[in-house]
């Protein structure tokens, strides 16, 4: 294995969280008196963090006011905390993939746009927390993906050069963040991509699941020697 560490996106890559997110959005919209959103709409809104998800739910002819946005975000936080992990499912291939990566001895981390108040709890509830050495949430650094800073921060915590880290995600935000950080980017075709499916031309490998990502990484031999 030529890599020294691997980072994973969370929502849409490791975990199918859309049912929890949709339920929290439904309860939030009802509480603030806004029009409901369909599951498909919520699915297309996921990708840039909680605040953007809430704002997209509220936006119809025009965006919400600052007061409306703030009230809705606080409402969403309460409702999502109550349902976080309740309906979430682990994607096929994730456990086998994580076990393979762990057995390789690589340092492993999560880099997500989900706020920290929800990330650690969700990983614990789903039995995934012990796989990871590092967790970078949406509020850990000043910027979220697609900015490279969250991926770079994970690399600093690992003590690994970015070009020795592989990032795996489900959207162009993951690909852009990884490439801007100097990492290779693998993408899975499922998950949440804001209606823009990832293309094999955009990433370094399009893989069916995390175990396939591990097998693909074993074939990569072009990293420079230390």
Do 132 and 214 have their domain in common? yes
Whether residue 111 is contained in a domain is answered as yes
Task: Calculate the alpha carbon distances from 80 to 19, 129, 183 in Å.
Answer: 11, 19, 32
CATH number of the domain within which 116 lies:
3.40.50.1000
Whether residue 159 is contained in a domain is answered as yes
> How confident is the model at residue 222, as a pLDDT?
57
Model confidence at 202: pLDDT above 70: yes
Structural tokens at position 169: 């995600």
Whether residue 224 is contained in a domain is answered as no
CATH number of the domain within which 71 lies:
1.10.150
Q: Of 41, 59, 83, at which residue does a domain stop?
A: 83
Whether residue 223 is contained in a domain is answered as no
Model confidence at 83: pLDDT above 50: yes
Do 103 and 170 have their domain in common? yes
Q: Read off the pLDDT of each residue in 213-221 and give the average, rounded to a whole number.
A: 89
Q: What is the DSSP string of the chain?
A: ---SEEEE--BTTTEE-HHHHHHHHHHHHHHHTPPP--HHHHHHHTTS-HHHHHHHHH-SSSPPPHHHHHHHHHHHHHHHHHHTTTS-EEPTTHHHHHHHHHHHT-EEEEE-SS-HHHHHHHHHHTT-GGG-SEEE-TTTSS--TTSSHHHHHHHHHHT--GGGEEEEESSHHHHHHHHHHT-EEEE-SSS--TT----TTTSSEE-SSHHHHHHHHHT---SPP-
Angle between helices 66-83 and 116-125 (to 10 degrees): 20
Q: Of 36, 55, 83, at which residue does a domain stop?
A: 83
Model confidence at 209: pLDDT above 60: yes
> How confident is the model at residue 221, as a pLDDT?
66
Structural tokens at position 100: 């393979």
pLDDT tens digits for range 51-75: 999 999 999 988 899 999 999 999 9
Q: Read off the pLDDT of each residue in 1-13 and give the average, rounded to a whole number.
A: 94
Do 10 and 106 have their domain in common? yes
Give me the percent of the chain exceeding a pLDDT of 70. Answer: 97
Contact 59, 44 (CB under 8 A): no
Do 77 and 104 have their domain in common? no
Model confidence at 39: pLDDT above 70: yes
> How confident is the model at residue 130, as a pLDDT?
97
Do 101 and 210 have their domain in common? yes
> How confident is the model at residue 141, as a pLDDT?
98
Do 22 and 106 have their domain in common? no
pLDDT tens digits for range 176-195: 999 999 999 999 999 887 77
Q: Read off the pLDDT of each residue in 164-180 and give the average, rounded to a whole number.
A: 96
pLDDT confidence bin for 224, thresholds 50/70/90: very low
Q: Read off the pLDDT of each residue in 7-12 and give the average, rounded to a whole number.
A: 96
Contact 142, 118 (CB under 8 A): no
Whether residue 225 is contained in a domain is answered as no
Q: Read off the pLDDT of each residue in 10-35 and give the average, rounded to a whole number.
A: 95
Q: Read off the pLDDT of each residue in 37-48 and give the average, rounded to a whole number.
A: 89
Tell me which residue range forms the domain holding 35: 18-83
> How confident is the model at residue 47, as a pLDDT?
75
Q: Read off the pLDDT of each residue in 87-97 and give the average, rounded to a whole number.
A: 97
What mean pLDDT value characterizes the chain? Answer: 93
Q: Please list the active-site residues.
A: 9
Model confidence at 201: pLDDT above 90: no
Structural tokens at position 157: 């915590």
Q: Of 32, 57, 83, at which residue does a domain stop?
A: 83
pLDDT tens digits for range 117-151: 999 999 999 999 999 999 999 999 999 999 999 99
Do 128 and 192 have their domain in common? yes
Do 183 and 79 have their domain in common? no
Model confidence at 225: pLDDT above 50: no
140 Cβ contact partners less than 8 Å away, ≥ 6 residues apart: 116, 150, 153
């Amino acid at each position: 294995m030529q890599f020294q560490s691997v980072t994973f996106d969370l929502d849409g890559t490791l975990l199918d969280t859309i049912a929890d997110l949709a339920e929290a959005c439904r309860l939030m919209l009802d509480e603030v008196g806004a029009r409901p959103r369909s599951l498909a709409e919520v699915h297309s809104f996921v990708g840039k963090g909680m605040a953007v998800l809430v704002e997209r739910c509220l936006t119809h002819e025009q965006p919400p006011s600052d007061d409306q946005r703030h009230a809705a975000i606080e409402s969403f936080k309460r409702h999502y905390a109550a349902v976080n992990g309740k309906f979430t499912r682990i994607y096929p291939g994730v456990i086998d993939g994580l076990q393979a990566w762990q057995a390789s001895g690589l340092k492993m981390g999560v880099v997500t746009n989900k706020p920290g108040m929800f990330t650690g709890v969700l990983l614990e509830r789903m039995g995934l927390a012990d796989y990871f050495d590092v967790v970078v949430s949406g509020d850990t650094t000043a910027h979220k993906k697609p900015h490279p800073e969250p991926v770079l921060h994970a690399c600093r915590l690992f003590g690994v050069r970015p070009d020795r880290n592989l990032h795996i995600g489900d959207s162009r935000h993951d690909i852009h963040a990884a490439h801007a950080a100097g990492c290779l980017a693998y993408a899975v075709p499922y998950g949440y991509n804001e209606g823009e499916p990832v293309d094999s031309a955009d990433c370094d490998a399009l893989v069916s699941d995390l175990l396939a990502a591990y097998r693909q990484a074993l074939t990569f031999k072009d990293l420079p020697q230390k």
